[in-house]
Amino acid sequence: MTIDSLSPALAAAFQSRGYSSLTPIQEAVLDPSHAGRDLRLFSQTGSGKTVAIGLVLAPDLERILAERASATETPGACATPATIVIAPTRELAAQLARELSWLFRPLGASVCAVTGGTSIPQELYNLRQGPLVVVGTPGRLVDHLERGAIDPSRVCAAVLDEADQMLDMGFREELETILGKMPEERRTHLVAATFSREVSALANRYQRDAVAVEGTSLGEANQDITHVAHLVKPDERDAAVINLLLLAPADRALVFVRTRDGAAELAERLGQAGFSARALSGELEQRERTRTLAAFRSGAVTTLVATDVAARGLDIPDVGRVIHADPPSDPETFTHRSGRTGRAGRKGTSVMLVPPQARDYVARLFRSGGIRATWSPAPSPDDVLREADARLAAELRAPAAEPADPRLQALAASLLADMDPAALVTTLLARSRHTGPSAPLPVTALVPHEPLPRRPPEPRASRDRAAPNAGAFVPFQVSWGGRHGADPRRLLALVCRRGGIRSDQVGAIHVGDFSSSVEVAMPVASDFARSAARPDERDPRVRIRPMPEANGAAPARPAPRPHGRGPLGADERPRRFRNQSLTR
């Protein structure tokens, strides 16, 4: 389908961006049978879902603009938007606002973004200008609704982008507050790359007569992304990352790690190795996050080391490679990480660095996503140097874009007259630093299809002190109890924020009068303990530390059976908290 089938205003918007056709998800939403219905949009990341939802909203916006123009309305003391779009992170909200702005500009509809970490007075001024579309993060939208800066009484459509991520981040109450203030007869659209049990519950509660619209079949792998996996010893992970970056040092790369501390440490090491690298994590202030992303978009920074939450939904053009320095914790995270490359029809590569003990887990991860990954040893120094030599040879053999400088031609002739040509070229190559900003590092070649070396048996006493299995939980003590307002929901949000983990990595929560206990999944417990121990300005009196028995020889609690979450009713808690003795 071409853009000629769109209204003149929307066609002009597409032409202004150089687009001549629609993506599959954008074509799918224009099906006449979907008119007037709530939509559940599913498609691969980078497939144009934001513009697709804009095409869904556009007819109502054009109608409302005409109605308000005929009524000669003028901006009032608060915004009365026709559409509110909710996103889990500041970066995603800003990205949505940018995409919808160019799409709706020819219609005459303005878009305003409201996010945490930005100037409230400036946002209040922007809201008073009468935007027809407001995009925001849950907490900031609740703030503006409660202060009366946004009047939701005329909202005809609500959009929830990355709804599963918002639930994982503990925004359930905020979502219920925002949606509860809107008119009952509105349309509610969900946009996602995956459809989890939690998203299904949210959709069933707030959507009516919904229809699923798929740009690509659920679970279908993005054919524009090549997947590669390397077995790497844990202490050689950083060396493998450096070698991977040296394979194409000028390309833009996004490196994923599990924790904020891990992002800062790896970015620092890459910087010391000569790469233009920065970290992106939730602890950065909004101004610094904005500067970091702007530098990455412009190419001033070529390597971004990010946590999952910080990079969720980022739309950065021409990211050639995604490197999973730490394997993702679940298929949904893997989908969103990998989808930062291979966007909008461009080709990309997703590289997974796999510690030997995680080989089977990663293989299952690939199978669950229908992905056929190529397993190979991590690039060695010889691989890096061979690629650098081939890259330089291709550049030198390519036709010159400009005429040769006469001064340099004269210098070349003079040098060739006095020196052996081979010796001259060798000297120049040694000084060209064409291999990249640093020397490649040695990495042990682990071949996936061969049996891994067996470790010698450990003494019995050592085995008794071995870490429990990956499905176990470690208990932590939180200096916050029911007498001070703690409840399971608030504790869950607190520990996820302080420790940089997701809600599904939290086990049982027990609330006492003056303190509480929280269980954290063993694979992330060490990183959680380091992150949670750092001073926190928002809750300086709340301390999180391992339970006394967790520091001794007592084993961690085995993992419970898998469970789901209950409905989203305000009178129900997630099943994780049911049947527990909560002392209040």
The confidence band for 73, taking pLDDT boundaries of 50, 70 and 90, is low
The pLDDT-based confidence of 568 (bands split at 50, 70, 90) is: very low
For residue 247, pLDDT over 50 is answered with yes
* Pure H helices in 220-330: 237-246, 260-272, 286-298, 308-311
The first and second tokens of residue 449, run together, are 């299809």
Name the band, by pLDDT with cuts 50, 70 and 90, for residue 222: low
Q: How far apart are CA 99 and CA 51, in angstroms?
A: 7
Average pLDDT over residues 457-474: 47
- Cα(78)–Cα(134) distance, integer angstroms: 12
Residues of the chain with pLDDT > 70: what percent?
83
Q: Looking at this protein, which amino acid is placed at residue 522?
A: M
Give the residue with greater pLDDT, 497 vs 70.
497
How many other CB atoms sit within 10 Å of the CB of residue 454? 6
CB neighbours (10 Å) of residue 412? 14
| pLDDT, mean of residues 172-195 | 87
Q: Which of 148-157, 326-335, 415-424, 561-570 has the highest mean pLDDT?
A: 148-157
Domain boundaries, the chain: 3-214, 225-382, 467-577
Please tell me the least confidently modeled range out of 29-43, 100-114, 121-135, 428-442. 428-442
CA–centroid distance for 531 within its chain: 19
In contact, 353 and 230? CB cutoff 8 Å: yes
Question: Given 3-state DSSP classes, what are the helix, strand and coil percentages for the chain, each rounded to the nearest 5?
Answer: 45, 15, 40
User: Is residue 298 predicted with pLDDT exceeding 70?
Assistant: yes
pLDDT at residue number 583 = 31
- pLDDT tens track for 15-55: 888 888 888 888 889 988 988 899 988 776 667 888 999 99
- pLDDT tier for residue 1 given thresholds of 50, 70 and 90: low
Helix (H) or strand (E) segment spanning residue 97: helix 90-104
Determine contact, residues 60/82, Cβ cutoff 8 Å: yes
Mean pLDDT of 3-19: 87
CA distance 331 to 547: 31
| Alpha-helical segments (H) within 371-486 | 381-397, 406-418, 421-432, 460-464
How much is the average pLDDT of 486-506? Answer: 85
More confident residue, 139 or 573: 139
Asked if domains 3-214 and 467-577 share a fold, the reply is no
The yes-or-no verdict on residue 582 having pLDDT over 70 is no
pLDDT of residue 570: 30
CA distances from 578 to 95, 573, 575 (A): 38, 7, 5
Candidate from 193-197, 280-284, 449-453, 532-536 with smallest mean pLDDT: 449-453
- The pLDDT value recorded for residue 555 is 46
pLDDT, averaged across the chain:
81
Q: State whether the Cα torsion 331-336-338-343 is positive or negative.
A: positive
Handedness of CA 180, 98, 115, 190 (dihedral sign): positive
What are phi and psi for residue 561, nearest 5 degrees? -65, 150
Q: Give the CATH class of 225-382.
A: alpha beta
> Distance between CA 150 and CA 531 in Å, rounded?
36
Q: What is the pLDDT of residue 220?
A: 52
How far apart, in Å, are the Cα atoms of 434 and each of 57, 309, 470, 499, 537? 50, 35, 43, 41, 46
pLDDT at residue number 377: 92
Confidence (pLDDT) at 195: 67
Backbone phi, then psi, for 460, in 5-degree steps? -60, -40
Q: Which CATH class name applies to 467-577?
A: alpha beta
Determine the Cα–Cα distance for residues 79 and 73; give it in Å rounded to an integer.
12
User: Does CATH number 3.40.50.300 belong to domain 3-214?
Assistant: yes
- Written as six digits, the tokens of 240 are 């493998």
Residue of 335, 321, 323, 309 lying closest to 256 (CA atoms)? 323
Task: Give the C-alpha separation, 62 to 58, whole Å.
Answer: 6
Query: What local confidence, expressed as pLDDT, does residue 584 receive?
Result: 28
The residue among 4 and 467 whose pLDDT is bigger is 4
Distance CA 532, CA 526 (A): 10
Report helix, strand or coil for 110: coil
In the chain the first and final C-alpha atoms are separated, in Å, by 60
Beta pairing, strands 516-521 & 473-478: antiparallel
pTM here is: 0.58
Q: pLDDT of 395-411, one tens digit each?
A: 788 877 778 888 888 88
Q: Check whether 198 has a pLDDT greater than 80.
A: no
